[in-house]
Amino acid sequence: MNDGRFLDVHHRLVSVLPMPTFFYGMKPGDEVALEIEAGKTLLVSLQTVHVDECVAKV
C-alpha cells in the first residue's frame, strides 16, 4: 500500500496527524486538531510529561 499516507508500527493509518507532530512529537502545551471523520474533529492537547528520575543513566 503506497498511497502517500504514513503507517505506524501496527499498520493503522496515521495520515490525520500533521507532519511536524508525526515526525517530532508534541511538547507540553501543544494542541492538535485531528479530523477523524467528515464533520468530526478531535482536539488533542499535551499537558505534561513525567520524567522518571529513577531511570539508570549510562
Please tell me the total count of domains within the chain: 1
Each residue's pLDDT expressed in tens, for the chain with a length of 58 residues: 444 455 455 545 566 778 888 889 899 999 998 887 788 888 999 999 888 777 666 6
Residues 34 and 53: their CA atoms lie apart, in Å, by 33
Asked whether 41 and 35 are in contact (CB, 8 A), the reply is yes
- List beta partners, residue 41: 35
Domain that residue 39 falls in: 1-58
Q: How far is residue 43 CA from its own chain's centroid?
A: 12
pTM metric for this prediction? 0.57
